[in-house]
Structure 1
Amino acid sequence: MHHANGDPDVLILLGEDSSVDNEKRVRRKIDCVILPMMCIVYFLQYLDKLSLGYAAVFGLIEDLGLQGSQYSWCTSIFYFGQLVAEGPFIYLMGRLPLTRFIAVTIVLWGAVCMCLAAPTNFAGFAAVRVLLGVTEGAVSPAFVTITSIWYKKEDHALRVGIWGGMNPLAQVIGSLLMYGIGKIHHPSIEPWRVLFLLCGALTSVFGVVFYIAMPSTPHKAWFLTPRERQIVLERMERDREGGDKVKFSWAQVRETLFDTKAWFILLFGFIASMPGAVIFFGTILINGLNYDKFQTMLLTAPSGAISLGMLCVAMIGCSVLPKYRCLVLILVTIVPLVGNILLLKLPLSATWGLVASSWLASCNPGILVMIMSLSASNIKGNTKRAMVNTYFFIGLCVGCIAGPQLWEPSAAPRFFSGVTMGLSCWCVFIFLVGLYWGFCYLENRKRDREQGVHSGTETYAGEDLTDKEDVLFRYSY
C-alpha cells in the first residue's frame, strides 16, 4: 500500500486483502465500541422526546395551565427548533470532526432538557422546547453518516436497526421510569419535573463520555491496532465508501438538489412521521378510556415492546431478503395501517381493543429506521450524504410539526382527525416506496448495461465520490 498523487487520503490498494476472519474480528470490535455508544445516545434522545407524553398524564397540562391546542403545540414546536438547526448543521457536519461536534450537542441538549423542569406557563415551556429541538437536531443525521463510515452496506440494515431500536426500547423503559417516579416523588416537586431533570442529567454526563471515547475516524480508532485500522479502510473501499472528509463540496450540493432519489428520502421522512403523533398522544388516549395515570403508564409499555418486535422482524426480513428491502418496508407498514383502521372502527366500549390498536398504530419507529438504513446504503459523498440525511430529517420535522395539530387532547379518546390522517399517510407511503424501488432497480440496470460488472484489482480509497460519480456503485432496494 502506498500514497498516490501526494494525497495521504487517497490510497491505492494493490492485491492486499484481509481474511474473512480478520474482517469479522474487526467488525466485532467496532460493534463492541462504536455501536453501544450510538445506542445509548439514541436511547437518551428518544427518552427525552417521549417524556412529554408521560408528563402530560402526570400533571404537566394542569400545572402549566395548557388550554386548547397548546399541548399539541408543545409537541410540534420542538421540531421547529430541529428544522431551523438542520441548515447550519449541513454545513457544520461537513466542516467539523463529526463525532466531536455531536458530543458537544449532546451535552447541550442534556442541559436544555433539565431546563424543561423550570417553566410555569406555556410560553416558557414552549421556548425551552424550541431550544431542545435545536440542540438535538444533529444527532440522527450524523448517526446515519457514522454508520456508513464504519460499516459496509450489507451491515447497514442490522446496525441502523440496532441503534434505531433504542426508540421503542425507550418507550418501554420511559413509561416504567415515569411510573416509578410517580410512586416515590417528593410533594415539593412535581414528578414530571423530576423526569426532565433525570433525563437531562444522564444525557449531559454521557455526552462527555461520547466526546472522550468516540473516535472521529477509523484512522484514529484507539481500540484497533494499526493493521486492524487498515482492514477497516480496505473493507470500506471495497464497499465504495470514501470515509468522513472534513470539507464542503458545492458540486455535491448541486447534484443533490437535482437527484430524484434524494427527494424521495425527504418525502419518506414527511409521510412516515405524520402518523407518529399517536406515540405522544397514546398516553392521553389510554388515560381517556378511564384508566388512572399509573395504569396508563403500565399499558403504554407494551407499545414499545411491540414496536421493538416489529423492528426485529424488519431486520430479519432484510437479512433474509437483502435484495428486497423495499418489499420488507412495505410489509412492515401494514402493521400501523391496520392499527389505524381498528382505532377508527372499534367502538369506545372495546377498551382493550382500542388499547391494543394504539400499540399497533405506534409501530412507526421501525419504518423510520428502515428509511435511514436505505439512505445510509444508497448515498455517497460527504456533503451529499449530510444533505440527504438532512433532507430526511427536514421531512420528519415538518411531519412532526403538522401531525400533532390533528391530535388535540379535547378529541380524546377517539381522535378521529388524527387517526384518519394516519390511515391516509400510510397508504401514500406504500405507493411512494414502490416508486423508489422502481427508480433504484432501473438505475442499476442502466449502470450494468453501461459499465458491466467490475472485475479490476486496483481500487482507490479515500476519494470523496458521490453515488452518481462512482460508476461501480449499485443502489440497494
Structure 2
Amino acid sequence: MRHSMDKESSLKVPYHQDPAEKGEILPDDVAVTANEDNDVVLAFITNLDPAIKDEPISAKEYRRVRWKIDLCILPLMAGTTILAAVDKNVIGNTAILGILEDANLTGLEFSWIGSLFFFGYLIFEWPMAYLIQRFPVAKLLSVTVMGWAILAMCTAATHNFAGLAVVRFLMGGLESIVYPTNSILTVMWWTRAEQPVRTAIWFNTFSTAFTGIVSYGIGRTDTSLSQWRLLFLVLGGFTVLWSALLWVFLPDSPVKCWQLTDREKWVAIQRVRDNNTGIQDTTFKWYQVRELIIDPKTWMLVVFAAAQNIPNGAISSFSGLIVRGFGFNTLQAILINLPTGVLGTCFQIILSIPSAKLKGYRCIIIACANFVPLTCATFLWQLPRSDRHGLLASYLCFWTYFTPYVLSTSLPMANTSGHTKKVTMNALWFIAYSLGNILGKLLVGPCNM
C-alpha cells in the first residue's frame, strides 16, 4: 500500500535490508521524507557538523546503535502497553473480587462496563489521531497515561453502574492513544525488517501475569476496603509513576533523544531512511486522507482488525468467570490466568521471527497462526463440562488468539507513507480494534454471568 508522495520532498534510494550486506552505509544515501518547514529532522541535519555526516557508518556501528535503541526505547513502549492492558482488563478480575455485589451489577450491565471502555476508545480515536499529529508523541503519551491512571484510581470511589460507566468510558478515550503512538514510534526507530519482532515485544500480553500477581496478593488481604477497590488504587498508583518515567526518558523523535550522541542520532535517522515514512511532521494534509480512504487495501485491513478482536473482547473481561466456570475457586482462577499472557507473547515472538525473515510470507504466517486458537475454541465447545483438565488446556492454548493481530499491526504502518496518512491509518486500524472488542463483549457477556 505505497501511496504517492507528491507535495512532499523525498530522495529515493535503493533498499538495503541490512548494512552488513554491503559493509558500510555512505552518508549520501539519505532519504528524509517530510515537509521542509516542519520536519524536525531536516532542522537537525541542517545544523549538524559536516564531519559527523561525512564519516561512513560501519555495520558494527549500525548494530551498536540499534542495540542502544532497543535498550532505551523498547522497554518503555512495552511497559506502557502492559499497564494499558492492566488498567483496561483488570475489570475481569474484579468480577470475582466483589464488584458485582458492591455495585449491584447485572450480567448485562457488567458486559456494558467492559464495552463502554471501547466506545470511549472508538470515539476518541480520531481526536487522538489529530493530537498525535499536532503535538510531540512522547510528551502527549505521558500526559494521557497520567490521565487514565488517575481515572483508574477514581474507579475505586464508584458505587453503581452509572459511575463505573462514566469512568470506564473516559479511560477508554485516553488509552486510545497507546497503540497508535507505539506504532508511530516503531516506524520512527526501526527498519521494516526489524519491525515485526519489535512489535511482537511491545505489543505483548504480559499484563495478565502482572494483573494476576497483584490480584492474588490483594485477594488474600483482609481489609475494610473492598478488594476490587484496593486493586484499582494500587494499579492506578503504579501507572502514575510510570507516566513520570515516560516524560523523562521517552524521546519524541531520534533527534530529541538525550540518550544518544549527535553521531548516534545521525545513524538512527539513516537506519530508517528506506522506510520512506518520515520522522515527525505537524502539518495535517487532507489530500493524504483522501488517498487513504479510496484505497481498497485500507478497508481490507480494517475488516481484518475488527474480526480478529472479537475473541479479545470476549475473553479479556470474562477470563476470571470463565475459569471459575470450570470448577475452580476465586484464587485458583486468578492463578490459572497468570501464565496466559506469557504463553501468548511467546507464541507471537516465535512467529514474528519467520515473519520478519521470510519476505512475502507474512500474511501466510498470520493466516496459519489462526489455526491454533480456532482448534482450541472447537475443543472448548465440544468437550464435556466434566473434563475440567481438557477444558483448561484448551483455554490456556486459546490465548494464542492475539498473535495474528499483533503480527499484522506493522502492516498498515510499514506500507503507508506520509505522517498524516500514518496517523489516519492508525485511527482506522484501532477503530476496527474497538468495534471487534465491543462486539465480543456484547455477544459473550450475558451468557457468562
After TM superposition, is the score higher than 0.5? yes
> Whole-Å Cα distance in 1 between the matches of residues 378 and 143 of structure 2?
43
Task: Letter of the 1:104 partner, please give it.
Answer: V
Contact 2:201 2:345 in 1 (8 A): no
Determine what percentage of the aligned residue pairs are the same residue: 32
CA drift of 1:223 comes to 1.0
CA drift of 1:221 comes to 1.2
Counterpart for residue 9 of structure 2: none
Counterpart for residue 318 of structure 2: 281
- Picking from 56, 71, 85, the partner of 1:32 is 71
Contact 1:268 1:371 in 2 (8 A): no
- Picking from 288, 293, 306, the partner of 1:252 is 288
- Picking from 99, 104, 107, the partner of 2:143 is 104
Task: Letter of the 2:252 partner, please give it.
Answer: S
> Whole-Å Cα distance in 2 between the matches of residues 95 and 15 of structure 1?
33
Counterpart for residue 130 of structure 1: 169
Counterpart for residue 227 of structure 1: 263
- Picking from 408, 420, 439, the partner of 1:402 is 439
CA drift of 1:313 comes to 2.1
Q: Structure 2 vs 1, CA of residues 6 and 323 (structure 1 numbering), >3 Å: closer, same or farther? A: closer
Give the 3-state SS of the residue equivalent to 1:216 in structure 2: coil
> Whole-Å Cα distance in 1 between the matches of residues 258 and 448 of structure 2?
54
Give the 3-state SS of the residue equivalent to 1:69 in structure 2: helix
Counterpart for residue 250 of structure 2: 214
Q: Deviations over 1:289-346 (max 9, x none)?
A: 2211011111112322321221122123324424311111112111111111111111
Contact 2:344 2:400 in 1 (8 A): yes
Figure out how many residues of one structure are paired with residues of the other and give that number: 409
Contact 2:277 2:419 in 1 (8 A): no
Counterpart for residue 202 of structure 1: 238
> Whole-Å Cα distance in 2 between the matches of residues 387 and 375 of structure 1?
10
**Which sections of structure 1, spanning at least 5 residues, go unmatched?**
413-477
Contact 2:194 2:356 in 1 (8 A): no
- Picking from 390, 395, 408, the partner of 1:371 is 408
Give the 3-state SS of the residue equivalent to 1:408 in structure 2: helix
> Whole-Å Cα distance in 2 between the matches of residues 409 and 320 of structure 1?
43
> Whole-Å Cα distance in 1 between the matches of residues 115 and 71 of structure 2?
36
Give the 3-state SS of the residue equivalent to 2:338 in structure 1: helix
Task: Letter of the 1:153 partner, please give it.
Answer: R
Counterpart for residue 79 of structure 1: 118
> Whole-Å Cα distance in 1 between the matches of residues 69 and 158 of structure 2?
42
**Which sections of structure 2, spanning at least 5 residues, go unmatched?**
1-26
Counterpart for residue 216 of structure 2: 179
Contact 1:278 1:361 in 2 (8 A): no
Task: Letter of the 2:328 partner, please give it.
Answer: Y
CA drift of 1:153 comes to 0.5
Contact 2:376 2:398 in 1 (8 A): yes
Contact 2:321 2:448 in 1 (8 A): no
TM-score between both structures, scaled by the size of structure 1:
0.81
> Whole-Å Cα distance in 2 between the matches of residues 279 and 128 of structure 1?
18
> Whole-Å Cα distance in 2 between the matches of residues 330 and 380 of structure 1?
25
Q: Structure 2 vs 1, CA of residues 66 and 226 (structure 1 numbering), >3 Å: closer, same or farther? A: same
Task: Letter of the 1:293 partner, please give it.
Answer: T
> Whole-Å Cα distance in 1 between the matches of residues 432 and 211 of structure 2?
26
Q: Structure 2 vs 1, CA of residues 409 and 99 (structure 1 numbering), >3 Å: closer, same or farther? A: same
> Whole-Å Cα distance in 2 between the matches of residues 255 and 393 of structure 1?
19
- Tell me how large the CA RMSD over aligned residues is: 2.2
Counterpart for residue 90 of structure 1: 129
Contact 2:413 2:425 in 1 (8 A): no
Task: Letter of the 1:84 partner, please give it.
Answer: I
TM-score between both structures, scaled by the size of structure 2:
0.86
> Whole-Å Cα distance in 2 between the matches of residues 279 and 237 of structure 1?
38
CA drift of 1:375 comes to 2.2
Contact 1:152 1:239 in 2 (8 A): yes
Contact 2:112 2:442 in 1 (8 A): yes
CA drift of 1:15 comes to 8.0
> Whole-Å Cα distance in 2 between the matches of residues 321 and 127 of structure 1?
46
> Whole-Å Cα distance in 1 between the matches of residues 304 and 138 of structure 2?
26
Q: Deviations over 1:81-137 (max 9, x none)?
A: 111101111211111111111111011010011111111111111111001101111
Contact 1:338 1:360 in 2 (8 A): no
> Whole-Å Cα distance in 2 between the matches of residues 135 and 185 of structure 1?
33
Task: Letter of the 2:157 partner, please give it.
Answer: A
Counterpart for residue 442 of structure 1: none
Give the 3-state SS of the residue equivalent to 1:407 in structure 2: helix
Contact 2:340 2:396 in 1 (8 A): yes
Q: Deviations over 1:219-263 (max 9, x none)?
A: 111111111111111222133232121221111111111122222
Contact 1:72 1:404 in 2 (8 A): yes
Mean CA deviation greater in 15-24 or 250-259:
15-24
Answer yes or no: is 1:270 the counterpart of 2:270.
Answer: no
Contact 2:87 2:236 in 1 (8 A): yes
> Whole-Å Cα distance in 2 between the matches of residues 284 and 411 of structure 1?
7
CA drift of 1:22 comes to 0.9
Answer yes or no: is 1:57 the counterpart of 2:93.
Answer: no
Answer yes or no: is 1:301 the counterpart of 2:335.
Answer: no
